[in-house]
Structure 1
Amino acid sequence: MPLALCLLPDWTVSSPFPPSHYVSSLEQPLRRICHSLHDIHNTTTTTTTSQLLLYLTPAAANMHIPSRATWSLVLSLISLGTVANAADSGTLEVDLLFPRNETYAPTEWIPFVFAFQNAKLAKYLAPTISYEGWNISAGANYSQGPGFSYSHNNLQWANWSSQDPYFVHHFHADLPEGIWRLDWEFWYFPCNEDWTDLTSVGDPILRNRTLHSITFTIKEGGQAVDLVAATADDKTCPKENAAAIKVTGKTRGVPPSEKMPDDTCVVVASPQPTPTPCQVKVDSVVAASMTASLRAQLCNSVNPPDDCPKDNAAQRLAVAGVACLAAAVGMFGFLA
């Protein structure tokens, strides 16, 4: 377990706790802990977190540390900036699956679908996807904003191990006929390898993005919107409309203020690999699941379609009743 915390002159390059330029400001308490870590190095070459705590606890007990805050700070410094091979490695790829550079018939709802290949590698990158659509044949006025837009900005909480590829989608309604330009960007947040501890200059997290753009057409006589058929045709998945990232598997602890999953980031490497978007297919089960999620969202809305199940209406009334009751209780509590 590498540790960039203490500077002990007799540690060698082969030590599992390499020296750092960091000089502690905790003075005597941290110095004693550092000597305990030095003892660990002299007795073992492989140290787990549990073993580390067993060594540190007696040292801390003899320090007469006045508050829990000091101990918490020491533990946070131990993990902060520490590099470890604690994650999977490989190539993470993000592909725009739909729409593509094709002509589609007008439809009430059109899906915009992305896929993550090797999705588990996205866990410590806190990715986001956002896009905008412009009707360029109608003379899109950029000062008035796009015709539609959306941001998948909650992906850091996704269960990346639940499926692979991991599909991300959103539906947009009633796009008018015309030639549309879709601009999309993929943001990801890897470790800054130049940042080692709280005394380092700069941020512990890098903010990287890739930009992509395609055009598609909405026109009478175009092909029907069919995710299964669209992704079965390997000829319509250009590599230019995908992003690939080489994830090393090396992770590092970061301050909680960075709001990263488990307060952890992962290191990425250059150059970026060549993407392979044609490998992703949407089968009928996945397509049906996307349609079902749209229907569930519509049926739980304020103005649901007429063909929604009656239990949805009852559920909405129950939710509204609970909200009214909560408001009334809050009002009476305030008056009391």
Structure 2
Amino acid sequence: MHFKSRAAWSLLVSLISLGTVSNAADSGVLEVDLLFPRNETYAPTEWMPFVFAVQNTKLAKYLVPKINYEGWNVSVGANNSNGAGFSYSHDNLQWANWSSEDPYFVHHFHADLPEGIWRLDWEFWYSSCNEDWTDFTSVGDPVNRNRTLHSVTFTIKEGGQVVDVVAATADDKTCSKENAAAVNVTGKTQGVPSRLDMPDNTCAVVGSPQPTPTPCQVKVDSAVAASMTASLRAELCNRTADRPDDCPKDNAAQGLAVAGLACLAAGVGMLGFLA
């Protein structure tokens, strides 16, 4: 009987703690910046990179961040009826190893964008908790999904500059202060029971109003750029069809190469995809 009472008390304490605010997390400003492309004219390229940076990554875990974007060739209209548009979602950032690097680079390559004027709309999503929500039996969801919207226009045209992420991020004059988002993370967290989409059933409490971002601080060096290119090549060579002719023929060796490149990408804090 004594054991049952103690177990019941432990369960009650755990349930109560799920709805309380704590100061278990770090505080500060998390920032997301679009590093590339910029409002420039680029020469046609087989693979166009889209690169973001997350700064102060230790704050990202309980925000469950997500980056979505879509682009279309405004030279041929906004309805994308000719297939000139594209969209992509980095919706698996909640599984990222945020402790691996700061800043954390998120990138994606898109193939064979035709010449024209392109508009890229991107949005940064994150979760936050209502600090006043303290009772797990209350009606309503304590978790809010928030987003910020941004846009950049770039041109693809013969005679434009060669696509070079290292050179672009080294030039502060081409950096748009509008293409960044910032979140004030208070360090307080809220327990949210039965929410498998939230790490440790925990949600961050953010401050208001949101701070002004300080973009143009992150640079992509040659090592990071090489890792992005290497991850692209590894993905292409790992395909069963349309593989580059100079990929390794040995499947076992290819598997080791892909694993090695994955480790390299993780080592520089980078998540990459292609389409």
| TM category, shorter | 0.7 to 0.9
Question: How many angstroms apart in 2 are the aligned matches of 1:313 and 1:287?
Answer: 26
Instruction: Choose between structure 1 and 2: higher strand proportion.
Output: 2
- 2:222 is aligned to 284
Considering only CA atoms, is the larger Rg found in Structure 1 or Structure 2? 1
1:262 counterpart SS class: helix
**Counterpart selection for 2:231 from 288, 293, 296:** 293
| Structure 1 residue 140 displacement after superposition | 2.9
Change (3 A) 1:60 1:185: farther
- 1:7 is aligned to none
- 2:56 is aligned to 118
- 1:196 is aligned to 134
Question: How many angstroms apart in 2 are the aligned matches of 1:161 and 1:183?
Answer: 28
Q: Which moved more, 1:99-108 or 1:140-149?
A: 140-149
**Counterpart selection for 2:37 from 80, 99, 108:** 99
Structure 1 runs (4+) greater than 3 angstroms displaced: 70-73, 142-146, 312-316
- 2:244 is aligned to 305
| Structure 1 residue 200 displacement after superposition | 2.2
Tell me the amino acid that sits aligned with residue 52 of structure 2.
F
- 1:239 is aligned to 177
Instruction: Choose between structure 1 and 2: higher helix proportion.
Output: 1
8 A Cα contact 2:31 2:213, kept in partner: yes
- 2:259 is aligned to none
Tell me the amino acid that sits aligned with residue 63 of structure 1.
S
**Counterpart selection for 1:265 from 171, 186, 203:** 203
Question: How many angstroms apart in 2 are the aligned matches of 1:144 and 1:201?
Answer: 47
2:140 counterpart SS class: coil
Change (3 A) 1:195 1:145: farther
Question: How many angstroms apart in 2 are the aligned matches of 1:199 and 1:146?
Answer: 49
Tell me the amino acid that sits aligned with residue 306 of structure 1.
D
Tell me the amino acid that sits aligned with residue 286 of structure 1.
V
- 1:63 is aligned to 5
Question: How many angstroms apart in 1 are the aligned matches of 2:184 and 2:231?
Answer: 32
2:58 counterpart SS class: helix
| Structure 1 residue 146 displacement after superposition | 6.6
* TM-score under structure 2 length normalisation: 0.86
Question: How many angstroms apart in 2 are the aligned matches of 1:109 and 1:189?
Answer: 32
**Counterpart selection for 1:77 from 15, 21, 24:** 15
Tell me the amino acid that sits aligned with residue 29 of structure 2.
T
The unaligned stretches of length 5 or more in structure 1 are 1-58, 317-336
- 1:139 is aligned to 77
| Structure 1 residue 312 displacement after superposition | 3.7
8 A Cα contact 1:132 1:146, kept in partner: no
8 A Cα contact 2:18 2:191, kept in partner: yes
* TM-score under structure 1 length normalisation: 0.71
Residues 199-214 of structure 1 mapped to structure 2, 5 A cutoff: 199-214=137-152
Change (3 A) 1:151 1:60: farther
| Structure 1 residue 273 displacement after superposition | 1.3
| Structure 1 residue 315 displacement after superposition | 5.7
Q: What's the % identity of the aligned pairs? A: 80
Question: How many angstroms apart in 2 are the aligned matches of 1:82 and 1:197?
Answer: 8
The unaligned stretches of length 5 or more in structure 2 are 256-275
Tell me the amino acid that sits aligned with residue 182 of structure 2.
A
